[in-house]
Amino acid sequence: MQKVKELLNKYSANQKPFVFVKTYGCQQNVSDSERIKGIFISMGCILTNIKEKADVIVFNTCAIRENAEHRVFGNLGQLKNLKNRNPNLLIIVCGCMTEQEHIGEKIRSIFPFVEVIFGTNFIGNLKDFIFESLRKRSLNLKKSIAENYNNLKLRRDCLSEEIPRQRDNKITAFVPIMYGCDNFCTYCIVPYVRGREVSRSIESIKKEVENLVNLGYKEIILLGQNVNSYGKDLGSSFTEVLREVTKIDGDFWVRFMTSHPKNITKDMIDEIASNEKICKSLHLPFQSGCDKVLYDMNRKYTRKEYLAIIDYAKLKIPDILFTSDVIVGFPSEIYDDFKETLSLVKTVKFSSLFTFIYSKRKGTLAYNMKDNVSCEEKAKWFSELLKLQRSISASIYSSFVDRNLKVLVKESRNKKNFGFAKTNGDLVVNLENYKEEFKGKFCIAKIIGFKERVLRGIVTSF
């Protein structure tokens, strides 16, 4: 540790090294970045939001869609001028993108000023990587080429409880309960870049949540690529996790993401229904409403099975709100298949959807599938879906007008008397009479209107 600190200070233009961390992608990446920041803080560094001030720049990348990779490459290109101005600047690229061998090669080829490259499961080795890079200043580091760092003792440390964490706020905390994915959906790169599923012990999860609640956190978000398959390697279940963490004393909410329909159980839904600490919202990606497409995606459930889960949840939790992910224009999809997606959306009535036009990912089974539908046609389908969902969302949001809802106040919106809160059902509320004393508290807000996917409210009691 001391040697790394000394080298960082040697190459720093500041009294203490300034570190800029840019996160791309999902909540799991946000959680990983909190650990990266924690490691730098433990070495005496200072975090900055201004990359021009930084002595170290870290890009924690996402590989789920091609657009995410393009953004990273574009932003990396912009760092060349900073590196020319400050030759001692240390640039690090990590995360899901770098687990793909062809991407690592591309970064080394096009951006030779990137000195450290490592994958998602090796955050605990970050100090070693920095030490080697600063010691040699010529080291190109890559997980899959052992000769580049065969003097380092690498470890798949995603379950490590020892890595420090610098959390991004004091109200909401992400708590990973498992890592990796065993599903191998044909369109998805995640199992290849994050590895197979491995679960944390319930004891370690509960200890972390207990510490967070004692520190005053009001919203705990349990994370996993597929939280419902938690515990297969331990002989336990996700429902057990929900029961145990909600036994902790304190006034807090529990959310979780992401769920896979094939692993949803009735006892999990029953637990949500009966447990007042678990939020009454469920993010349940369906991806397509057509059985043929679902089969080609290797989703391992049918439309009928998905709707049966929805029906049971609505029966047990009448006020539950659903959100989902949808892929438009999968290679085998034709318009009649897409109409089944529209039909499912009309049936379920999601409060919101995360919609994506299919993005080819090299290394996945779908990459080489024949695709006969043009990009222009897919864009038309996409617009049709968005139009439908906007009308459904408007109907749902309008139903909350003039109601009093319990909300968790998050932060100000940089405007006088204007703030941001979340409902139990995970709806955003803009508070028009925000006060700093509301922040981090559960309040009652009267909903006075809405605009698009945002409610407008006024705090009436707290």
Residue 339 has pLDDT above 90, yes or no: yes
Q: What is the mean pLDDT of residues 350-361?
A: 94
Residue 408: pLDDT band (50, 70, 90) is very high
Q: Using DSSP bridges, classify how beta strands 442-451 and 454-461 pair: parallel, antiparallel or unpaired.
A: antiparallel
Nearest CA among 93, 183, 101 for reference residue 133: 93
Same fold for the pair 169-278 and 280-399 = yes
Model confidence, pTM: 0.89
pLDDT confidence of residue 155: 46
Residue 32 has pLDDT above 60, yes or no: yes
Q: Where are the domains of the chain?
A: 2-148, 169-278, 280-399, 404-461
Residue 136 has pLDDT above 80, yes or no: no
pLDDT confidence of residue 271: 98
Residue 349, helix vs strand vs coil = coil
Q: Are residues 424 and 406 in contact, defined by beta-carbon separation less than 8 angstroms?
A: yes
Residue 396 has pLDDT above 60, yes or no: yes
Q: Under CATH, which number does the domain 169-278 receive? A: 3.30.750.210
Least confident of 54-58, 146-150, 418-422: 146-150
CA distances from 106 to 97, 109, 202 (A): 11, 5, 40
Span 2-148 CATH architecture: 3-Layer(aba) Sandwich (3.40)
Q: Output 84 or 7, whichever has higher pLDDT.
A: 84
Nearest CA among 247, 251, 165 for reference residue 216: 251
Span 404-461 CATH architecture: Beta Barrel (2.40)
Residue 25: pLDDT band (50, 70, 90) is confident
Q: Under CATH, which number does the domain 280-399 receive? A: 3.30.750.200
pLDDT confidence of residue 152: 40
Q: Output 448 or 145, whichever has higher pLDDT.
A: 448
CA distances from 103 to 121, 190, 195, 254 (A): 17, 15, 17, 36
Nearest CA among 345, 452, 434 for reference residue 398: 452
Residue 44 has pLDDT above 60, yes or no: yes
- Strand-pair partners of 90: 56
Mean pLDDT of the chain: 90
In angstroms, the CA 353 to CA 371 distance is: 24
Residue 442: pLDDT band (50, 70, 90) is very high
Q: Output 100 or 252, whichever has higher pLDDT.
A: 252
Chain center to CA of 180: 13
Q: HSE on the CB side for 172, CA within 13 Å?
A: 17
For residue range 153-178, list pLDDT tens digits in order: 444 455 567 788 889 889 999 999 99
Q: What is the mean pLDDT of residues 350-379?
A: 93
- Strand-pair partners of 412: 419
Least confident of 116-120, 309-313, 321-325: 116-120
Residue 419: pLDDT band (50, 70, 90) is confident
Residue 415: pLDDT band (50, 70, 90) is low
Q: Are residues 254 and 246 in contact, defined by beta-carbon separation less than 8 angstroms?
A: yes
In angstroms, the CA 153 to CA 361 distance is: 31
pLDDT confidence of residue 143: 40
In angstroms, the CA 369 to CA 390 distance is: 31
The rounded percent of the chain whose pLDDT value lies above 70 is 92
For residue range 257-277, list pLDDT tens digits in order: 999 999 999 999 999 999 999
Residue 418 has pLDDT above 80, yes or no: no
Residue 300 has pLDDT above 70, yes or no: yes
Q: Using DSSP bridges, classify how beta strands 18-23 and 56-61 pair: parallel, antiparallel or unpaired.
A: parallel
Residue 208 has pLDDT above 70, yes or no: yes
167 backbone dihedrals φ, ψ, rounded to 5°: -75, 150
Q: What is the mean pLDDT of residues 208-237?
A: 95
Q: Output 202 or 119, whichever has higher pLDDT.
A: 202
Residue 136 DSSP symbol: H
